Amino acid sequence: MTEHQPGIIRRFFRFIGRIASGIRALLSLLFVVFFGFVIAGMFADGIQSIPEQGALYLAPSGVLVDQKSYIDPVGQLMAPTNSGDNETLVRDIIEALDRARYDRRITHLLLDTDYMSGGGISKLQEIGAALSRFKESGKPMIAVGDNFNQQQYFLAAHADEIIINPFGGVMITGFGAHNSYFKDALDKLKINMHIFRVGKYKSAIEPFVGNSMSAEAKEETQELIDSLWQFYTSQIENLRQLPKGMIDDFANNLHLKITAAEGDTAALAEQEALVDRIATRSQIVTYLNQVMPGTDGKFNSINMRAYLNNSRLASGSTTNESKIALVVAKGTILDGEQPEGSIGGDTLAGIFADLRDDDSVKAVVLRIDSGGGSAFASDIIRDAISATQNQGIPVVVSMGSYAASGGYWIAAEADHVLAMSTTLTGSIGVFGVIPTVEESLAAIGIYSDGVGTTDISGMMQLDRPMTAQTKMIFQAGVDNIYARFITLIADARGTTPAAVHEIAQGRVWTGERALELGLVDQLGDLNEAILVAAKLAKISDYEVDYRRKPMNLYEQLVTQLNSNVRASMAGLGVQGLLPTSLRKQAERILKPLHVLDSLNDPKGLYLYCDNCPL
């Protein structure tokens, strides 16, 4: 009897079914592997406990920040395994140091700066203050590094002993502020940039209207970097007990000194008393085994993340009825809802609305680390802060690396404003930029034509020339926002618009100069701002409650799982292939274009400081 063969259609669907079954099996396997990594990561964090005696291993990675940038959970999983370490919270470092100084189990601090890429001098200043407090405990501090750039060395200089690799060096080259300028490129592309601004120092638009830095921008920027450089050099010289002017001489004559040292940069660093010891990695480990408490001949240590996890768990949760809410405003100020790492006008206003509804919140500390952005979004935030104050809740501002332009707009009316001496603030000015491409299109034979009911009916069409009426409208808007800006500051700071105008016009000031000019009330860090908030709220027993944009359940779950999965996968040696150095260079060159593309004010009016992130 002949076996009946199924028809071609049935065979086709059977084939599809087998493929579907295979896909389901593969997905099931991936699901099991995924959660295997999750569980491994969960237990990996909990394996290490604080040794009875040992060192706190402090190795900041990536950029020092006040708030980590949001990454979509799926994007986190697909990104290179080391990308989750691109940012380190400054407050975590400070908390670990302040806990460790009183912890009898922590006998030493081992500072490793090799993984840190930067973060701004004011953040280094805050961490440096915490390192100095730790040093007061009398516990030895040892800094190690393959190489030290300027920012890494600032932290290392706080150590009792600095050890460098024989192939390493200390590269102190001075501060600079350089930009890319696009005027000739825009002319060749026949793109017309229509600029509207108030303030001769408001230089954010200069890359689009010239091929070099203006005299005003050079004057302002030179004064800023000279001030910051003087702070940097004097700090290093005091910490290392070096002659005054030695660091400046080292940087200016680095080429001669390296030549005289026959290119041996490590030997040069030791000769100049910038480091105390030259040793290979294995020699460093041998030395640490000798000078630090250990087990079986190996020194004991615990990394910052594990130390904080253990310490926080031991402290337990608190149920204090009085809270000081800590809110971070980090990044460019944009309209609407925005993820962390940017400041959404609606997002931050929503956080303040929630605080007003929380009876346990007695004061708010707003940590600002922003060069500004949208004028409209800035005022949405200012209004939310004002509503919070009107409800009897004091608001204290702590300025980070910069709180300028729109960042200062949202700070001006606070009950008390603190800045670091190296904070960049001010930049009180307004600008708008509208490009039109009618000539670019005409060059390839594309034209715009039509009719309208008014002379300005097509004013927002970028393929048409900008009319004189349109230019008047935009300039009037810029003038109006500037007038509001200086009036807002005058009312908040107890002065006059005319007096504010004298120190405004887009000029950027350091925190030290801002205090002299009356733009801030006090020099101090985040911890001091919290103490001021407690005093204003008349409370002595309180807890600090870090408030952030709420994540939905999916984001919370996947973000937490990703941190464990990625920690486990990193052990497999999976790394990204993107050349980071090239990416960073491209970001620097194209920064002005990126800023122009990212800002989203409804009226195209901006309170943004381009010179702030020096």
Is-catalytic flag, 69?
A: no
Q: Which of 61, 83, 370, 405 is catalytic?
A: 405
Identify whether residues 354 and 400 lie together within a single domain.
yes
Identify whether residues 469 and 549 lie together within a single domain.
yes
Q: Which of 293, 313, 333 is the last residue of a domain?
A: 313
Query: What residues does 491 pair with on adjacent strands?
Result: none
CA contacts within 13 A on the Cβ side of 461: 16
Residue at 132 is within a domain: yes
Picking from 343, 321, 324, the residue whose alpha carbon sits closest to that of residue 333 is 343
Identify whether residues 218 and 86 lie together within a single domain.
yes
Q: For the chain, what is the domain count? A: 2
Residue at 30 is within a domain: no
The token duo for 353 is 């609305």
Q: Which of 243, 278, 313 is the last residue of a domain?
A: 313
Identify whether residues 416 and 475 lie together within a single domain.
yes
Is-catalytic flag, 405?
A: yes
Identify whether residues 422 and 472 lie together within a single domain.
yes
Residue at 35 is within a domain: no
Q: What percent of the chain has pLDDT over 70?
A: 81
CATH number of the domain encompassing residue 305: 3.90.226.10
Residue at 439 is within a domain: yes
20 vs 78, residue with greater confidence: 20
Per-residue pLDDT of 338-349, as tens digits, reads 988 899 999 999
Residue at 442 is within a domain: yes
The pair phi, psi for residue 230, each rounded to 5°, is -65, -40
Please report which helix (H) or strand (E) contains residue 587, including its range.
helix 580-589
Instruction: Give, to the nearest 10 degrees, the angle between helix 90-100 and helix 121-135.
Output: 10
Identify whether residues 354 and 383 lie together within a single domain.
yes
Identify whether residues 305 and 403 lie together within a single domain.
no
Output the pTM of the full model. Answer: 0.84
Residue at 614 is within a domain: no
Least confidently predicted of 255-264, 390-399, 433-442: 433-442
Report the C-alpha gap between 558 and 564 in whole angstroms. Answer: 10
Q: In this structure, how many other beta carbons lie within 10 angstroms of the beta carbon of residue 297?
A: 8
Report the C-alpha gap between 86 and 69 in whole angstroms. Answer: 10
Q: Which of 262, 285, 313 is the last residue of a domain?
A: 313
Sign of CA dihedral 266, 270, 271, 272: positive
Report the C-alpha gap between 112 and 124 in whole angstroms. Answer: 14
The token duo for 161 is 């002993």
Mean pLDDT of the chain: 86
Least confidently predicted of 81-95, 97-111, 134-148, 516-530: 81-95
Question: In terms of C-beta distances under 8 Å and separation of at least 24 residues, what long-range contacts does 289-295 make, across chains too?
Answer: 291/108, 291/140, 291/142, 292/54, 292/55, 292/107, 292/108, 292/110, 293/51, 293/53, 293/54, 293/107, 293/108, 294/54, 295/51
Residue at 39 is within a domain: no
Report the C-alpha gap between 138 and 101 in whole angstroms. Answer: 9
Report the C-alpha gap between 157 and 163 in whole angstroms. Answer: 11
| pLDDT, position 573 | 43
Picking from 125, 184, 118, the residue whose alpha carbon sits closest to that of residue 151 is 118
Identify whether residues 76 and 140 lie together within a single domain.
yes
* Burial call 360-393: b when 16+ CB within 10 Å, e when fewer: ebbbbbbbbbbbbbbbbbbbbbbebbeebbeeeb
Report the C-alpha gap between 3 and 297 in whole angstroms. Answer: 76
Identify whether residues 303 and 325 lie together within a single domain.
no
Identify whether residues 253 and 379 lie together within a single domain.
no
Identify whether residues 290 and 323 lie together within a single domain.
no
Residue at 512 is within a domain: yes
Q: What integer is the mean pLDDT of 168-182? A: 92
Identify whether residues 162 and 59 lie together within a single domain.
yes
Confidence of residue 554 (pLDDT cuts 50, 70, 90): low
Helices in 320-426 by DSSP H: which ranges? 345-356, 375-390, 406-409
178 vs 519, residue with greater confidence: 519
Which residue range forms the structural domain that includes residue 289? 49-176+214-313
